[in-house]
DNA sequence: TCGCTTCTGCAAATCATTTGCAATAAGGAT
DNA sequence: ATCCTTATTGCAAATGATTTGCAGAAGCGA
């Protein structure tokens, strides 16, 4: 899949953006999925799962611990680390380490996307460009390689007086 | 520059690759540049500069220390860290942290490029795609942002029986 | 050569993350 | 509801990469 693209095709549009997943319908919840993978559903895991599901801001581990501790003050940071790693291992979440920061977490959606990081606020915006995806595969092929993964992060600042299209409220 | 591209232009080619810089003529040496920036040229700095200039394999800090220590066994790891940071601060080198590894170093060439990492060997191949550069700027713009930086890394494995074009020896 | 700084080596400190271990708690079986 | 086995937790210590405080060493302009 995606292997036999025609590198000389004329792309109808340069990029196709999609909505961030907090605007998309929720799928199964993390806690249930955790159980389905044969793991015990402990109180801590339930809380961490809830925190991650409720978060739409790509929080880092410390922040997830902070939010979890607000519900159960006894929860240990190492439990958060262990639980998040376990969620990642069974594919329920993804972690991304942006430039010089801690790992940040998002619930897996199954749909691949890349990230734009607002350097003024740290806010993360998800996007997807099939054109870029194709170019990456093609570049690897030209260099004699088969693409197995990639990392694309855009660091940017807001254009003054120009609200982000995906955030703009109708009025 | 690069600001007013036409996103609907038909690109003559999908990507333009360039040769890795070890195939390009050397520019001024790091040691001299260090002095020109008002820093003292110590024996350790000269050695580290030589090691970095001679390296064309994106070594990490430990490896640079290893190579430097082969010349002067007394050189401290912290000196390597401090010197590399100083070189980076004045723009003589660039460091990149690829997935889950230590920071790797390359001499700055002034020409922007991205990286393909051979996941079987860790080898790094530099490439540049103006098409991707343009798309990135355009995507950021559509999201209401002005691109200030980016990170693009391709992780890939060699296609068997297919030598990398830029490495293929004439015969 | 002198003297003023900048540097270096060493060890200790940070920062993010992982891990050993004894105590605790899931959850299937009774 | 109670037991029992085994996974999981909290805590503290360990790790790995990188940074930093400090006293002694070494550039380099005078």
In this prediction, residue A27 has a pLDDT band, given cuts at 50, 70 and 90, of: low
Is the C-beta of residue B74 closer than 7 Å to nucleic acid chain C? yes
Q: Higher pLDDT residue, A117 or B20? A: A117
Write down the H helix ranges in B106-165: 130-142
Residue A112 CB lies within 7 Å of the nucleic strand C? no
pLDDT in tens, A57-77: 999 999 999 999 999 999 999
CA of B7 to C1' of C16 (A): 41
Which of the listed CATH numbers 3.60.21.10, 1.10.8.60, 1.20.1440.230, 1.10.10.10 matches domain B20-110?
1.10.10.10
CB-based contact, B127 to chain A, within 8 Å: yes
Residue of B nearest to A141 (CA): B159
Does nucleic acid strand C have an atom less than 7 angstroms from the CB of A41?
Answer: yes
Is residue B149 less than 8 Å (CB to CB) from chain A?
Answer: yes
Residue range B154-158: mean pLDDT, rounded: 97
Q: DSSP assignment, residue B96?
A: E
pLDDT band at B100, cuts 50/70/90?
Answer: confident
A23 touches B at CB < 8 Å = no
Q: Tell me, what's the pLDDT at A166? A: 56
Residue A28 pLDDT: 63
Distance from CA of B73 to the nearest CA of A (A): 31
- pLDDT-based confidence at residue B25 (cuts at 50, 70, 90): very low
Amino acid A165: pLDDT: 55
pLDDT value at B140 more than 90 = yes
**Average pLDDT of span A25-41:** 81
pLDDT of residue B171: 45
CB-based contact B70:B89 (threshold 8 Å): no
Distance in angstroms (rounded) separating the CA atoms of residues A17 and B101: 31
What average pLDDT does range B44-49 have in this prediction?
97
How many other β-carbons are positioned within 10 Å of the β-carbon of residue A167?
A: 12
The candidate with the shortest Cα–Cα distance to B17, out of A4, A135, A152, is: A135
Q: What Cα–Cα distance (Å) separates residue B84 from each residue in A4, A51, A71, A115, B40?
A: 43, 40, 44, 29, 14
Considering only residues B34 and B104, tell me which one the structure prediction assigns the higher pLDDT.
B104
Contact A116 B143 (CB under 8 A): yes
Q: Where are the domains of chain A?
A: 20-110, 112-171
Higher pLDDT residue, A154 or B166? A154
SS3 A150: strand
A134-138, Cβ contacts within 8 angstroms, sequence gap of 24 or more:
A134/A2, A134/A5, A134/A7, A134/A11, A134/B14, A135/B14, A135/B15, A135/B129, A135/B131, A135/B132, A135/B135, A136/B132, A136/B152, A136/B154, A137/A2, A137/A3, A137/A5, A138/A5, A138/A7, A138/B14, A138/B15
* A138, A145, A157 member nearest B15 (Cβ): A138
Under CATH, which number does the domain A112-171 receive?
Answer: 3.30.1490.190
How large is the average pLDDT for residues B125-149?
A: 96
pLDDT at B92 over 60: yes
* Residue A86 contacts B where some CB pair is shorter than 8 Å: no
């Amino acid at each position: 899949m995606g292997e036999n693209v025609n590198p000389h095709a004329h792309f109808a549009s340069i990029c196709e953006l999609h909505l961030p997943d907090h605007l998309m319908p929720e799928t199964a919840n993390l806690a249930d999925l955790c159980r389905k993978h044969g793991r015990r559903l402990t109180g801590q895991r339930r809380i961490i799962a809830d925190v991650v599901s409720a978060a739409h801001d790509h929080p880092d581990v410390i922040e997830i611990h902070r939010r979890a501790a607000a519900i159960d003050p006894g929860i240990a940071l190492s439990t958060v680390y262990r639980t998040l790693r376990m969620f990642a291992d069974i594919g329920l979440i993804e972690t991304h380490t942006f430039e010089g920061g801690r790992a940040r977490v998002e619930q897996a959606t199954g749909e691949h996307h890349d990230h734009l990081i607002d350097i003024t606020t740290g806010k993360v915006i998800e996007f997807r460009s099939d054109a870029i995806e194709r170019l990456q595969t093609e570049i690897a092929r030209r260099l004699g390689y088969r693409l197995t993964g990639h990392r694309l992060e855009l660091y940017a600042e807001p254009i003054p007086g120009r609200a982000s299209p995906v955030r703009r409220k109708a009025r």
